[in-house]
Amino acid sequence: MDANNLVEMLSQTVERYPDKEALIWKQSSGYTGMTYREFWNTIRNVASGLHRLGVKPDDKVAILSDSNQIWAISDFAIASLGAISVPVYPTLPSNQVSYVLNNGDCTVVIAEDDEQLQKVKDGNANVQHSIVMKPASGFTSTDNVSSFSSLEEDGAYHPLKDWEEQWRAIKGDRLMTIIHTSGTTGAPKGVMLTHDNFLSQMKAIQFWVMELKAEDIHLSYLPLSHVFERMAGHFMPLMAGTTIAYAESIDTIQDNLQEVKPTIMTSVPRLFEKVYAKVVDQIESGSPMKRKIFNWAIDVGKERYDYYLNTPVHELVLKPMPKKLQSQVARADRLVYQKIKERLGGRMRGMVVGGGSLNPDIAKFFWSLDIPILEGYGLTETSPVVTTNPMTRAKIGTTGKPIPGCRVRIASDGEVLVKGLNVMQGYYKNKEATDKDIVDGWLHTGDIGAFDEEGYLKIIDRKKRILVLSTGKNVAPAPIESAINESRYIEFGAVVGDGRKYVAALVTPDMENLLPWAKQQGIQTESRVELCARDDVQQLLMDEVARHTNAYADYERPKKVVTIGDEWTVDSGELTPKLSLRMKNIEEKYREHIEKAYDEASISAKEVAAGTQ
């Protein structure tokens, strides 16, 4: 790839694969799509329509929508004019939408539907024009609101004559997008990323991680408003000529996997945790013979993984897998692996996980099934990839090695520092925060990490999240929370304890699995709140926390478990749009529960035992 900007990158793909499907999406009658040529022509029409609205170079245009084909079209249309896209999470409430639009100086917003458009109106965002992707029936355009279809039609009738000249003139150091951080520790900050930021990533990753091919199909379900999916599930596939299939929603993933039968996929750890818990639950409830065969197949898979990890790459060509192991793998594939692979569509050759730490036990489980999961590490500020595991040398429990062109070092206090072409220009309209986080060209990530003896990076936790107990012990909450989330009865676990004598955990139930358990126990209610108030349910969740954290040191294991009856969502404030915990909000909202957990007089002997057995 030799492109000066992302639009030129896409144009090169269009030249190579004009008649190949670029994007497919679900409609009532099934999946439909558009070719790379149709994709390109639509981008040109939309760019012309935006120009007719007055969008100029350096203007800010927001995209407020779930991921879909129009999101992708809008992204490139905005970029082709030299304008700057400002993605907004569609799950944000109106006041937060307004903050992003105003902080990003957006003059135009492309909203998915009337619900998202209403957020723009309710938040009193200072925008001049709104465009609705999917307007309700009876929609009528006004001076400041129009439909996406009318915008496209207007651009088709009045094409921008020097459009190609405009996008070819865009330099790599030109600002391409402003992506706002999740705001877990304060107000969201607008991260300024250039064309070169993304292009440098794509050049470094294409052959380092897993070579994407034109025949691949990528299933996209993560929000394009998040930099991980934007780069790994949007720009990367489009560079390779891959087909992108959009899932209907996160709730329809299982159905969409069967319909699309993807070969590659990006995901956050939560999806793998859920799949793992479901498979383990089915195996444990099966016959002794079924469990024996399954466990044997997993052991064979682990042996194969260890063989490839421990054999030098140059020797693998001359030293193939031993015949006995080859035979065992083939048999295990027929008896076990294929059945689980079918749940992912049957053709999956690799999945990339980001946005959080994946429990090593879960990662090894999938690798044992011959379903490669490639973990990496990055931030919005690094566009986003810093380190990643290559397919040929993935090391479970690490985030891999620094990608080419990216330098990583560990500061004296353990903080991960990054320098390279992938590092942002800075925070939009926030020089103070920029100067604080970028010192002498090194981005201070706020994450604590360490390199192992082979140069693979391990991320321990956020610097601000390390719990310092009153005993002097330091506890990293993230790995413990990941272990707790392995339980099929727990949706989310949050670990607290800074300045306290011991660690405590707040957990929310996974109702999909808790309700069947309750029925088996003869419990009649299906009320979330009523179930969480029951002693037997609380005991179950305490036992689950104890079981899943058994491998941790005594001081790291929660001594008290608080069952939360509320459902944690983005709208209610406990989760970020990428489903990370907003610990500040959680600790404020459940302050009384936490204080009670540390009131020694309120802890019964049974509860203490349940947390330490």
pLDDT at residue 318 in the model = 66
Ranges 204-208, 322-326, 392-396, 422-426: which has the least confidence: 204-208
Q: In sequence order, which residues have a C-beta less than 8 Å from that of residue 263 and are 6 or more positions away? A: 215, 216, 217, 218, 347, 348, 349, 350
Report the DSSP pairing between strands 457-462 and 373-378.
unpaired
Confidence of residue 369 (pLDDT cuts 50, 70, 90): confident
Q: Which of 158-172, 267-281, 497-511, 518-532 has the highest mean pLDDT?
A: 158-172
Reply yes or no on whether the pLDDT at 464 is more than 90.
no
* Token duo for residue 353: 């996980």
The pLDDT of residue 572: 87
- Contacting residues for 385 by C-beta, under 8 A, at least 6 apart: 201, 204, 205, 231, 232, 376, 377, 378, 403, 406, 422
User: Reduced to 3 states, what is the DSSP secondary structure of residue 112?
Assistant: coil
Q: Check residue 601 and give its pLDDT.
A: 45
Nearest-angstrom CA–CA distance, 127 and 105: 8
Given a contact cutoff of 8 angstroms between Cβ atoms, the answer to whether 108 and 59 are in contact is: yes
Percent helix / strand / coil, the chain, rounded to 5: 45, 20, 35
Going by C-alpha positions, the residue among 357, 446, 458 that lies closest to residue 401 is 458
Residue 348 near residue 265 (C-beta atoms within 8 A): yes
Please identify, in words, the CATH class of the domain defined by 1-14+37-170: alpha beta
In CATH, what number does 465-612 get? Answer: 3.30.300.30
Q: Residue 186 has what pLDDT? A: 64
Q: Which pLDDT does position 207 carry in this prediction?
A: 66
Q: For CATH 3.40.50.980, list the domain ranges present in the chain.
A: 1-14+37-170
Contact 456, 395 (CB under 8 A): yes
C-alpha distances out from residue 94 to 191, 570, 579, Å = 21, 13, 19
Residue pair 445/379 in contact by the 8 Å Cβ criterion: yes
SS3 of 290, please?
helix
DSSP, collapsed to helix, strand or coil, labels residue 429 as coil
List the single range of 194-198, 343-347, 352-356, 580-584 with lowest mean pLDDT: 352-356
Closest-CA residue to 541 (of 517, 512, 516, 563): 563
Q: What is the DSSP letter of 568?
A: P
Tell me the per-residue pLDDT of 103-137, one tens digit each, with 9 for 90 and over.
Answer: 999 999 999 999 999 999 988 788 999 999 999 88
Q: Strand pairing partners for 97?
A: none
Confidence tier at 460 by pLDDT (50, 70, 90): confident
CA distance 602 to 583: 24
- Residue 37: what pLDDT? 98
CA distance 255 to 553: 41
CATH 3.30.300.30 location in the chain: 465-612
Q: For residue 130, which of 167, 88, 170, 162 has the smallest C-alpha distance?
A: 88
> Which residue do the tokens 């998915």 mark?
112
Q: Which residues contact 205 (CB under 8 A, 6 or more apart)?
A: 232, 236, 385, 388, 403
8 A C-beta contact, residue 408 and residue 457: yes
Give 567-579 pLDDT, tens digit per residue.
998 888 898 877 7
- What pLDDT does residue 241 have? 97
Instruction: Please measure the distance between the N-terminal and C-terminal CA atoms of the chain and give it in whole angstroms.
Output: 57
What span, in angstroms and rounded, lies between the C-alpha atoms of 197 and 380? 11
DSSP-derived secondary structure letter, 581: B
Confidence of residue 354 (pLDDT cuts 50, 70, 90): confident
The pLDDT of residue 313 is 65
Kindly tell me if the per-residue pLDDT of 180 is higher than 70. Answer: yes
